[in-house]
Structures are given as structure tokens and as C-alpha cells.
A and B are shown apart, each in its own frame.
Chain A
């Protein structure tokens, strides 16, 4: 297989200059990802990490791939790109990924989910730069992991299956092979789970509540729940609060305070938004608008020059993944080449 082409492209190009003048301000030059895959992203510890899941079509068959990449964020510049984790499978389509920055050494935890199989949870990386697989089970009855995160020295993940939901835990450095698993209530599904330091949050498939609590090897304690006023389709937790994307007469983004349980709507719109949370901030990608919130109503900080595939924030900066297409000559024929441009779009306001 050929490695992905790593190219830097100008943030503003061609006829999009006018839009870009508003959009970028002090924004960084963009980095390009091939294709329009399903992106998940996070920022933390001076790193931007992302995972890109898409079908890989060959001449004779299709398989699925999820690539986890990372870059150092220096000011508003992105540097030192590498791809320490690459999941490949023919077991079935990857339904998406969840990636969380660990906050140290550009590390991350990746969950690659499949509809028909229990996808892997991997932690990146050892001092030698090697990933550690903390969960990957070929048993068809194994719970499917939906999201994972770092909680102290342990990777914890939320998984679900016919036997119910579980919280898995493992120490990736000391003993990744001896993980624990404890039952938790509810019926989480893809996108409906999130784990961060000291907090695990999840919703039920088709449900309107978000649950959260304190994760440990024994499960999740001090579980609380709050109604979100509509069908919850995505949950993202960070220490202190939970962000949810809710379908209710249009779309809403809610922010639930983990200590008080107070739910506040911080954005409303007509199309499903992309959301991220980091530090004390929430980032929202809605259409081509990039918005942020520190607790109040979200405010626009930048425009993207293509549909937004994902956003990420570390609490002070916002990264945006925007889908772009351009004409290019491929084997003497002009074709439309689809790429996803990644850049630091601005600062949280």
C-alpha cells in the first residue's frame, strides 16, 4: 500500500479568497488528509490528534481503515505529523472512531467501532513509540467499544452488547492484557459514550437522558442523569461538564454541569453540528461556521471554506477539519480530488 501523501495546502486558495479573509484571521496553514472520511478529533497537551475512518476501495474489493494521526500545536501552527496507529479490517464497515488526547507526550486513546464486530481500543504510545492494544476481541458476542479515554494511569472504555453495557479498564503500561470489566446501566451506542479523567458519560440509543459518574475498575459510581429535552445523538465529556448533541425540533447542543446537573442549551440550529470539548470550552462546527462557548451561548469565531467534518479544542484554540475538493490531473485526466484540510481556525472566545 502506498502511504498517504502528506501535503500542505494554502488555507485560502482560488475563488475562496473572499470567504477566507473572514475565515482565517490569524489561522494557520492547513494540512491535508486524503478523502472525506469520518473524522474524530481532540486537542490536549500541545497536540492535535485525529482519526479518519473510511472505506478503502481497491480494484477488486473494499476494506475499511482508520488512521490515527497527531501533530504538535505550536501557537497556531501544526508541526511534526505522524501516524502511529492504523487499523485495517475486512470484518465489516467501521462505523466511526473516537479519539481522546491523553494530554502527555502527544498521546491518545483510540476506539475504532464496527457495526458487526468489537473494534479495538488502543493507547498511544510507549516510550519506544509503540501503540498498546488494550481491547480487541474476535468473539462475535464480545461487547462493542464505543469510546475510551485516559483516567489517571488507566485507559477506560464504554462498550455495549446483547449482555448489556460495561466499563472496561486497563493499565496500558503495566499490564494491558489484564483488563477489568464492570457492568453499567443503560444502552449506549456509537457516539453516545465518552470517557475523560474522572468522568464517564453516556446516553441510551434513542433516549433523551445523559448519565454520568465517576469511573473506576469497579464500574461507575455516583451515577447521575439529566434529561436533554430531545433525542441524544452524541455525548462528549470533559472534567466538569458534558456536551450533548440533541435532536429536538431542529438541533441543539447542550452543556450539562457535572456537579450540579444543570443543563443549558448553548446552540440551536437546523442541521446536525459537529462538537468538541476541551478545557472549559466547547467548539461547534455548524455548516461552515466555527463557534465556541465557555458556558454561555456559542459565538462564531471563524468560517470554514468547506463543510466542517470535525472540530477540536483544547480550551483556548480551535482546530477545524473542512472538506474541500479541487480539480487535479491524475494520469493525464482531470479529476475531482477530495481532501480534508486541517488547520487551527482561531481562539476560543
Chain B
């Protein structure tokens, strides 16, 4: 009986991998510790990412680290105010390991922040110029200072979770005795300003908008009320924001195939219809998804380690149900005190989901449009 179960499980895993190949949704992995490392420790960490089998990853570009002081020419990546050293090593290291990186940038520098805090809503011109600097540095033609060129990073997400006060504050402002939504309008202005600058610096780049976190509603009750994905998208439609691709984050309550809260995998068609009004047929990237295996205040829903592994497989199946979904990024490689959705525990021992991830991505091809 046990042997039959093992065979059935193996067949199920194989079926998942085949489904991924058939529909082309990429299951990828992010390691949010990469930007904290350099030198040999970074190389070791990149080797672990490589061992996962992922062929795509997402890199957090921390604006306030790259630009600790105000650049004189913010669109010029060679402005002396910029320090790209850690990202040059990361990107080069990833490409050397045949992993395609995509960028997401956020955290407002002190000089660009109205409050001095990293989550302060940025001035549109400053944040758009930084997007242009990223695109210009990593457009595939920029010298690497060693006689070669830096790799091309095709996809740039504009910000991270701009619908949540943790990353973009304020979300709402007081007007006539009530709160009105502010973040979606400001964010729309940022994407609209960044889009032509990025395209001018790197015509083949893909500008990814939205990047919404999976919380929030349609009504502002206070300055840091989160704004729901659908409400956020509707405002971007009203502002006629140009994008090449839409991204969002899904952390479902319940299994990927059963959860129906908005947003979840089952509500992808609803999101697709909205994305079509931004750009017909634009691909959808789920640039964060996963399940926590213990309780933490940033994500209050958790599952067992066995469920996490099982639902990783279901996540891949859910992504493959929707042809518009090109990418699903599992967040994160390793647990930390604030985030326990890792494939490794804090002590770097693997959870069952680690080997499940490896099985899931093994043999799954990377579409040509996602080649490094």
C-alpha cells in the first residue's frame, strides 16, 4: 500500500511538472537576503538558489542603498551618487548561473522622502528617474568596468506593494472630514512618468506595474488603510497608465485551488479583465506567493510544513490553469523572524517544500522570452 502511495505521489509530481511545461507558467524562487550579501557569501547564496533549480528570480533593488545621496543627474547610472556594486555582482552571478533576474525597486532614500522614512511616497520625478537609471545600467550595453558589459535585465517592477502603507505612505489623505484614496493616483503618476524614461534607456525592457500586495479594500478609513488590488487596478485604469505587464502578490488563505478571497488564484480571470483595460493581453506575473509555516505578525495565516509542500505543487497547478500567468515566484528561500514562508528554516535546514520545489521545476523549460 505504501509503495502504491509513493508511486502515486511521484506520478502526481511528474504530472505537475508536465503541466508546467505544457502551459509555460514559470515557477520561480526569490531570496530576499541576496541584497544583504556581497563577495563569497553572496556567491554561496547564489549557489543555493541555483541548486533549487529556479531559472528566474526577483531582485529587490533598495533605492536608498543605491542612492544614499541625491544624484546630480538621477537618470544617469554613472552619477557618482550611485553605488551599484552589490547589484552588479548579483546580476552577473545570476546570469553566470543561468538564472534570469527581474528587478523590483523601492524604499525611498532619505533625501527623496517627505518624512525621512523609507516607506514615504516618493516624488514622482525622483522615483521615475531612478527607474531610468536602472534600465540604462542593465540594458545590456553598459560597461562593467572590466572590459565587458553588464547583463541585460529585461523586467523592472515599479515599486513593491504600493497599495500597502508598509511600502507606500500615506495610502489615503484626509479631505473634508473623510479619507480619500491617494496612493493609487500617485503610483499611477509614477508609472506613467517612469515608462517612457525606461523605454528610452532600454527599448526592449518590460515595465511591470501594479505589484500589489494581497490585502486591502475599497474604502479608506485612515492614512495607512491598505487599498485592495482591484480598487488599485481600477484607479490605474482611470489614469490610463502604460504598462507592459501586470504583477501582484497572492498569499491565499486555504489551498491554491480552493481559496477564493480576492485576490487569489481563482480570481485571476477577474484581474485579467482589468489588466486588459490597461493593456490588452498583457501578461500577469505573480511575483510573490507562498505559505508560512508558523505565525508572524506580517502574515497571520500559517500552515504545516507538509501542507506548505503540498500547496507548493498546487500553486504550480493553479498558475498553469491561467495562460495569462507567465510567472509565479515563491517567496522566500529561507525563514527569517518576520517571514516564515521559506523553503528553509531559519537554521538553514530544509523543509519538505525545498525538495518539492526542486522536483516541480526540474525539467520545466524556460520560455525564450525569459532567457537571460
Q: Which of A61, A118, A119, A137 contacts B254 (CB 8 A)?
A: A61
Contact A138 B260 (CB under 8 A): no
Task: Name which residue of chain A comes closest to B261, CB basis.
Answer: A1
A19 located at the interface, meaning its Cβ lies under 8 Å from any Cβ of chain B in the complex = no
Q: Which of B254, B296, B307, B345 contacts A91 (CB 8 A)?
A: B307
Contacts of B295 in A (CB 8 A): 87, 89, 112, 119-120, 122, 133, 136
> How far apart are A336's CB and chain B's nearest CB, in angstroms?
26
Interface pick from B33-41, B119-127, B297-305: B297-305
CA distance A20 to B258 in the complex (A): 45
* Most chain A beta-carbon contacts within 10 A, residue among B253, B293, B345: B253
A88 located at the interface, meaning its Cβ lies under 8 Å from any Cβ of chain B in the complex = yes
Q: Which of A60, A89, A140 contacts B302 (CB 8 A)?
A: A89
Q: Which of B254, B258, B293, B297 contacts A138 (CB 8 A)?
A: B293
Contacts of B296 in A (CB 8 A): 133, 136
Contacts of A137 in B (CB 8 A): 294
Task: Name which residue of chain B comes closest to A121, CB basis.
Answer: B295
Interface residues of B in 298-333 (CB under 8 A from A): 300-305, 307
Contact A88 B351 (CB under 8 A): no
CA distance A91 to B254 in the complex (A): 10
Contact A130 B337 (CB under 8 A): no
Q: Which of B255, B259, B305 contacts A140 (CB 8 A)?
A: B305
Contact A61 B258 (CB under 8 A): yes
A59 located at the interface, meaning its Cβ lies under 8 Å from any Cβ of chain B in the complex = yes
CA distance A88 to B259 in the complex (A): 14
Contact A88 B253 (CB under 8 A): yes
CA distance A138 to B335 in the complex (A): 11
> How far apart are B313's CB and chain A's nearest CB, in angstroms?
15
| A 164-186 to B, binary, CB cutoff 8 A, 1 in contact else 0 | 00000000000001000000000
Task: Name which residue of chain B comes closest to A116, CB basis.
Answer: B304
| A 103-120 to B, binary, CB cutoff 8 A, 1 in contact else 0 | 000000000100011111
Contact B255 A61 (CB under 8 A): yes
Dominant secondary structure of chain B at its interface with chain A: loop
A334 located at the interface, meaning its Cβ lies under 8 Å from any Cβ of chain B in the complex = no
B340 located at the interface, meaning its Cβ lies under 8 Å from any Cβ of chain A in the complex = yes
Contact A87 B294 (CB under 8 A): no
Task: Name which residue of chain A comes closest to B342, CB basis.
Answer: A138
CA distance A122 to B294 in the complex (A): 12
A/B pair count, beta carbons within 8 Å: 75
Interface range on chain B (Cβ under 8 Å from partner): 20 to 34
Interface residues of A in 125-144 (CB under 8 A from B): 130-133, 136-140
A92 located at the interface, meaning its Cβ lies under 8 Å from any Cβ of chain B in the complex = yes
CA distance A83 to B26 in the complex (A): 39
Task: Name which residue of chain B comes closest to A56, CB basis.
Answer: B253
* Most chain A beta-carbon contacts within 10 A, residue among B254, B259, B296, B335: B254
> How far apart are B281's CB and chain A's nearest CB, in angstroms?
30
Contact A136 B294 (CB under 8 A): yes
Using known A-B contacts A1-B253, A1-B261, A138-B340, determine if residue A90 contacts B297 with beta carbons closer than 8 Å. no
Contact B258 A60 (CB under 8 A): yes
Q: Which of B254, B300, B335 contacts A90 (CB 8 A)?
A: B254
A251 located at the interface, meaning its Cβ lies under 8 Å from any Cβ of chain B in the complex = no
CA distance A91 to B304 in the complex (A): 5
Contacts of A116 in B (CB 8 A): 304
Using known A-B contacts A63-B254, A177-B337, determine if residue A138 contacts B304 with beta carbons closer than 8 Å. yes
Q: Which of A89, A133, A177 contacts B297 (CB 8 A)?
A: A133
Task: Name which residue of chain B comes closest to A58, CB basis.
Answer: B254
Using known A-B contacts A137-B294, A138-B294, A138-B340, determine if residue A90 contacts B260 with beta carbons closer than 8 Å. no
Using known A-B contacts A1-B253, A63-B253, determine if residue A138 contacts B337 with beta carbons closer than 8 Å. no
Contact B305 A60 (CB under 8 A): no
Using known A-B contacts A88-B302, A92-B304, determine if residue A60 contacts B297 with beta carbons closer than 8 Å. no
> How far apart are B216's CB and chain A's nearest CB, in angstroms?
12
A86 located at the interface, meaning its Cβ lies under 8 Å from any Cβ of chain B in the complex = yes
CA distance A288 to B255 in the complex (A): 41
* Most chain A beta-carbon contacts within 10 A, residue among B295, B335, B337, B351: B295
Contact B304 A60 (CB under 8 A): no
Contacts of A92 in B (CB 8 A): 304
Contacts of B302 in A (CB 8 A): 88-91, 136, 138
CA distance A138 to B300 in the complex (A): 14
Using known A-B contacts A136-B340, A138-B294, determine if residue A117 contacts B254 with beta carbons closer than 8 Å. no
CA distance A209 to B241 in the complex (A): 69
CA distance A61 to B254 in the complex (A): 7
CA distance A118 to B340 in the complex (A): 14
Interface residues of B in 214-267 (CB under 8 A from A): 253-255, 258-261
| A 127-163 to B, binary, CB cutoff 8 A, 1 in contact else 0 | 0001111001111100000000000000000000000
Task: Name which residue of chain B comes closest to A119, CB basis.
Answer: B295
Contact B297 A131 (CB under 8 A): yes
Contact B303 A91 (CB under 8 A): yes
> How far apart are A171's CB and chain B's nearest CB, in angstroms?
14
CA distance A206 to B83 in the complex (A): 64
Contacts of B253 in A (CB 8 A): 1, 63, 88, 90
Contacts of B300 in A (CB 8 A): 86-88
CA distance A273 to B265 in the complex (A): 46
Contact A130 B297 (CB under 8 A): yes
Contacts of B294 in A (CB 8 A): 118, 120, 136-138
Interface residues of A in 66-122 (CB under 8 A from B): 86-92, 112, 116-120, 122
Contact A89 B301 (CB under 8 A): yes
Contact A60 B293 (CB under 8 A): no
B interface residue numbers (CB < 8 A to A):
253-255, 258-261, 293-297, 300-305, 307, 335, 337, 340, 345, 351
A-B contacts, 10 listed (Cβ < 8 Å): A1-B261, A87-B295, A92-B304, A132-B297, A136-B295, A138-B335, A138-B351, A140-B304, A140-B305, A177-B337
Question: Assuming A90-B253, A117-B304, what are 6 further A-B pairs, CB within 8 angstroms?
Answer: A58-B254, A88-B253, A122-B297, A133-B295, A133-B297, A138-B345
A interface residue numbers (CB < 8 A to B):
1, 58-61, 63, 86-92, 112, 116-120, 122, 130-133, 136-140, 177
Which 4 A-B residue pairings sit nearest by Cβ, starting from the closest? A138-B293, A120-B295, A88-B301, A136-B294
